[in-house]
């Protein structure tokens, strides 16, 4: 499954990362915070959370608003 990382600039395109790549990074540090782009479907984000919880990690998921518009948000996922 491909997931889009949060954009660094509003005009940039989001970068893709695979679930397996994220799992490799989390195994190394065991405590990571990721920010994902709003273009990810909520269904994919819940699948990501379920996948990490199935592996025994605690996962905190929320939407972070950074502006007044409904379109100005990103997803934050803290994996421990």
What's the average model confidence in pLDDT over 35-55? 95
Q: Residue 27: which of 2, 52, 50 has the closest Cα? A: 52
**pLDDT at 48 (0 to 100):** 95
Looking at the structure of the chain, the number of domains it has is 1
Which domain, by its residues, includes 33? 2-79
Distance (Å, whole) CA 58 – CA 67? 28
Residue 71 has pLDDT above 90, yes or no: no
Residue 70 has pLDDT above 90, yes or no: no
Is the four-CA dihedral 56, 15, 35, 44 of positive or negative sign? negative
Residue 42 has pLDDT above 90, yes or no: yes
What's the average model confidence in pLDDT over 23-36? 92
């Amino acid at each position: 499954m491909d997931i889009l990382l949060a954009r660094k600039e509003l005009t940039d395109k989001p970068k893709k990362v695979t679930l397996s790549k994220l799992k490799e990074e989390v195994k190394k540090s065991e405590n990571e915070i990721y920010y994902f782009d709003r273009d990810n479907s909520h269904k994919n984000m819940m699948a990501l959370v379920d996948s990490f919880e199935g592996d025994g990690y605690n996962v905190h998921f929320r939407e972070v608003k950074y502006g007044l518009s409904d379109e100005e948000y990103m997803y934050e996922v803290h994996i421990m």
